[in-house]
Amino acid sequence: MIAPAEPALDQLELGVRTHAGAVLIGPAGVGKSTLVRVAAERLSAEFPRVDWIWATTSRRGVPFAAFGDLVTVPETGSTTVVLRAARDQLGDGRLLVVDDAHLLDPLSAALVYQLAAEGAVHLLVTASVADAPVPAEVTALWRDGLLARVDVQPPGHEDGRLRAQVGEFVATLPSPARQVLGFLTVWDPLSRADAEALAGPEAVRDALDCGAAVLAGDDVRPAHPLLLDAVRDALGGPELRRLRTAVVQRATASGQGVVARLRAASLAVDSDGAQALVDVCAAANEALRLGDLALSERLGRAALGRSPGLAARLTVGYALAWQGRGREADAVLAEIDPGSLTEDELLAWALPTAANQFWMLSEPERATAFLQATRGKMSSPSARVTLDALSATFTMNAGNLGRATELATEVLNSPDADDTAVGWAASAAALSAARSGRFDEVDALADRALSAGQPGLLRFTSGFGQTTALVMTGETQKALVLAQRLADLAQRHQPGRAIGEVLIADVLIAAGELPRAVSLLREAAAALAPTGYSWGPLAWMLLAQALGQLRQTVEAGKALSRAESRHGLKSMLFAPELALARAWTMVARRDTHGAVAASREAVRAAERGGQVAVALRAAREGIRVGDPRAAETLHRLTAEVDCAFGRAAAT
């Protein structure tokens, strides 16, 4: 609804009382901040405390920067760990006001969404949605029904006229006041001490007295973000660089904590205040740990431009590969001379190189040969065990569950296995156990993988094992809850969110909820398409299955074609799913003979790879597509795998 001021206030208060909060949406300069301030004052007595988050352009490129004053980001731990720690610090039922949420960095936006979804705080949010891209987590706040949406658009408001008036105001400001705003364009807010050290006490007083800046506690902020836009437009590149250099020198001297270090490093890249190379590399790694791949790549490339060292090259390689840019990652990693490396360095280089070759470049044979050749150069038992753990994952993806289980078991029994090795091996073992029908082993293996702090996206591998086991043991609802939780942990960051949605869709297909599965799979498949993850082909396979069952012939055929074109050795684990995609596409085309043949191939492919549980599920599908021999196959397989799914299908 479009509301004038007083009704808007009522709508905001109602939203806080009936939802997780309310969001006020409108163009810049219409008084959104003033309205939510009044609403917060009216509501303050109902909450233990009220805190403000000001999202700014200068903070947008740094993870958790908007929450830098309220949350202490741990020095270790993945994005999920950091988000959970932040939620624990904030989730006391307070009222949190988030101003200009469209300017939030992605991880701050993810935290806001998580706080709203869990009901850990109540929120008052302002946002402008017309001028720039808005983080998906922010738009999801009202699209998912978490926040009540209130729109404001005063009659006669014109963006162009307003910006012209702001430009005129800035032009009439005393030079010292404009200088304060200049520093705020690169670091907003500034503590009063920093602002006075940079611009001088008199300049800060001038800026405050003439209304160009305001005090928020001990911080100096612009009176309105539009003032900074006008100043930024008037400043030339050299002047902005000078301002950044001055701020970097001050920030480096006074900054504490992960967020402050990342902000200073990010600003230094475009200034003349070069940081020590070791600090830039450390910041690039911190950004990688927090999942900000763009910032990690930017900082890592800045470090490489100064010295082509191993540490920076590995960071850039990981950042590129995890963005799905496999060719670029391979080129960066290939610049390293393995003959010049120590054994520890060789291991650190070999792991991302092999993983990138296997998944992102779709060259599994090359990756496997490279891994074995590297293992032959290792004398350290720990290094060999770590390479064996990655080899177990490769072997599982290639469809050889028996050998994958052997390798993973050897790693997990080894006293030389570090957390990285345990993460790879236990994840592969969990999924292999589930697809092989050893359901009672899955949870313990998944828990071991999780406790090892498994890197990257491996939690979805072990999680897929758990959801598979739950479906087969008749606990479909539990499987759905677990899959949803895994997707939620990824927030809306890709490709994690898409992989989580593939897991949800797999459970939904088993439960017969096909339209919902199709909706999830369309988006997931599109998100995974630019990457090399084997989850991408699986998404197309499952989409073809669901569309075929819905008799959407043309769409099922397109999804099947995409699955077939992307399938290879790296996704051979999912060969049974591809055969079932063919079967259901044939059903949609009314080709019963082709459907029966494809469903039988699904059973054979599963049994060849030792995937007895998957074979059982394929046999059930065989009955559904009209295979007269499928019931006999089903009864034979239920003798090998006694589970609720098989018993229900046999009945």
Instruction: Determine the length of the chain.
Output: 651
Q: Which of 399, 426, 450 is nearest to 606 (CA)?
A: 399
Residue 91 token pair: 């989730």
Residues 6 or more apart whose CB falls under 8 angstroms from that of 619 comprise 603, 630, 633, 634, 637, 649
Predicted confidence (pLDDT) at residue 470 exceeds the cutoff of 50: yes
pLDDT tens profile 406-434: 999 999 999 999 999 999 999 999 999 99
Give the whole-angstrom CA distance, residue 380 versus residue 416: 9
Predicted confidence (pLDDT) at residue 4 exceeds the cutoff of 70: no
Instruction: Give me the pLDDT at residue 489, please.
Output: 73
Domains of the chain in start order, with CATH, are 5-151 (3.40.50.300), 159-269 (1.10.10), 277-379 (1.25.40), 512-651 (1.25.40)
Instruction: Give me the pLDDT at residue 456, please.
Output: 61
Q: How confident is the model at residue 513 (pLDDT cuts 50, 70, 90)?
A: very high
Instruction: Give me the pLDDT at residue 497, please.
Output: 87
Predicted confidence (pLDDT) at residue 255 exceeds the cutoff of 60: no
Query: What sign has the CA pseudo-torsion 121, 127, 129, 133?
Result: negative
Residue 146 token pair: 């978490």
How far is C-alpha 335 from the chain's CA centre?
28
Q: Which of 95, 92, 91, 1 is nearest to 39 (CA)?
A: 95
Q: Which of 54, 161, 170, 149 is nearest to 108 (CA)?
A: 54
Secondary element (H or E) of residue 460: helix 458-472
Query: What sign has the CA pseudo-torsion 174, 177, 182, 183?
Result: positive
- Helical spans, DSSP H, in 123-272: 136-143, 159-172, 175-186, 192-199, 201-209, 225-234, 237-254, 257-269
Q: How confident is the model at residue 5 (pLDDT cuts 50, 70, 90)?
A: low
Give the whole-angstrom CA distance, residue 444 versus residue 425: 13
Residues 6 or more apart whose CB falls under 8 angstroms from that of 230 comprise 163, 166, 167, 169, 170
Instruction: Give me the pLDDT at residue 244, please.
Output: 92
pLDDT tens profile 344-372: 999 999 999 999 999 999 899 999 999 99
How much is the average pLDDT of 178-205?
94
How much is the average pLDDT of 473-483?
95
pLDDT tens profile 67-105: 988 999 988 887 878 888 899 999 999 999 999 999 999
Q: How confident is the model at residue 1 (pLDDT cuts 50, 70, 90)?
A: very low
pLDDT tens profile 517-541: 999 999 999 999 888 889 999 999 9
Give the whole-angstrom CA distance, residue 608 versus residue 403: 13
The maximal CA–CA distance of the chain, rounded, in angstroms, is 90
Q: Which of 306, 310, 260, 311 is nearest to 281 (CA)?
A: 311
Beta strands in 7-107 (DSSP E): 21-25, 50-54, 95-99
How much is the average pLDDT of 467-493?
89
End-to-end CA distance of the chain: 54
Would you say 497 and 488 are in contact if contact means Cβ atoms under 8 Å apart? no
Would you say 493 and 527 are in contact if contact means Cβ atoms under 8 Å apart? no
Amino acid present at 581:
A
pLDDT tens profile 387-404: 999 999 999 999 999 999
pLDDT tens profile 570-591: 999 999 999 999 999 999 999 9
Average pLDDT across the chain, whole number: 92
How much is the average pLDDT of 592-615?
96
Instruction: Tell me the sheet residues that pair with 124.
Output: 22, 97
pLDDT tens profile 41-52: 999 999 999 999
Residue 550 token pair: 């819905």
Q: In this prediction, what percent of the chain has a pLDDT beyond 70?
A: 97
In a 10 Å sphere around its CB, with 0-12 CB exposed, 13-18 middle and 19+ buried, how is residue 264 labelled?
Answer: buried
pLDDT tens profile 198-237: 999 999 999 999 999 999 888 999 999 999 999 998 888 8
Predicted confidence (pLDDT) at residue 23 exceeds the cutoff of 70: yes
How far is C-alpha 35 from the chain's CA centre?
33
Residues 6 or more apart whose CB falls under 8 angstroms from that of 44 comprise 50, 95
| DSSP state string for 531-546 | S--THHHHHHHHHHHH
Report pTM.
Answer: 0.85
